[in-house]
């Protein structure tokens, strides 16, 4: 069985393609491997075509964490957050990224490709993957996310 922490689901739309490839290339060195859900070029495509299968794979437990990238981050986050158990957080700076893990137990980091550099993307993913969930009072809140009234 693959170590689900070191094996990460990754996907993007056309706007996020170059950052996705940059992440794969530069995060492979610390020992991460990726299952790439696409897209596989910068040709315009529909972001739900990658966000749905990636979110399903994280939801099923096949992968502990996912990375989704699109122009603003909004589209793929909206799709991913439709899945029970998925907590996809749009992250554009270190503090937001750290809090997404500490307080919200986010399991998919969403990167807004048009608003960050590839170097910032690397840093944010490293922060995301190295920050644990704080639990405690935050666990009570996270437990309420999937409870539909």
Q: Where are the domains of the chain?
A: 7-145
Query: What pLDDT is attached to residue 2?
Result: 38
Q: How far apart are CA 51 and CA 66, in angstroms?
A: 10
Query: What pLDDT is attached to residue 28?
Result: 78
In this structure, are residues 74 and 90 in contact, taking their beta carbons and an 8 Å threshold?
A: yes
CATH 3.40.1400.10 fits 7-145, yes or no: yes
Is 46 a residue whose pLDDT tops 90? yes
Helix (H, G, I), strand (E, B) or coil at 52: helix
Helix (H, G, I), strand (E, B) or coil at 5: coil
Query: What pLDDT is attached to residue 35?
Result: 96
Residues in the chain: 149
Tokens 């993307």 locate to: 121
Would you name the residues annotated as active-site residues? 70, 103
Calculate the CA 41 to chain-centre distance.
19
8, β-bridge pairs: 34
Determine the Cα angle at 36 with ends 38 and 80, to 5°.
Answer: 70
Would you place residue 30 in the very low, low, confident or very high pLDDT band (cuts 50, 70, 90)? low
Is 78 a residue whose pLDDT tops 50? yes
């Amino acid at each position: 069985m693959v170590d689900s922490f070191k094996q990460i689901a990754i996907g993007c739309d056309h706007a996020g393609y170059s950052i996705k490839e940059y992440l794969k290339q530069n995060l492979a060195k610390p020992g991460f491997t990726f299952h790439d859900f696409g897209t596989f070029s910068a040709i315009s495509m529909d972001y739900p075509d990658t966000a749905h299968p990636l979110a399903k794979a994280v939801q099923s437990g096949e992968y502990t964490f996912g990375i989704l990238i699109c122009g603003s981050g909004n589209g793929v986050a909206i799709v991913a957050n439709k899945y029970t158990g998925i907590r996809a957080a749009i992250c554009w700076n270190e503090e937001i990224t750290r809090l997404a893990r500490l307080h919200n137990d986010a399991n998919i980091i969403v990167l807004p490709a048009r608003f960050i550099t590839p170097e910032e993307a690397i840093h944010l993913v490293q922060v995301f993957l190295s920050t644990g969930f704080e639990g405690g009072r935050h666990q009570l809140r996270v437990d309420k996310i999937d409870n539909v009234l």
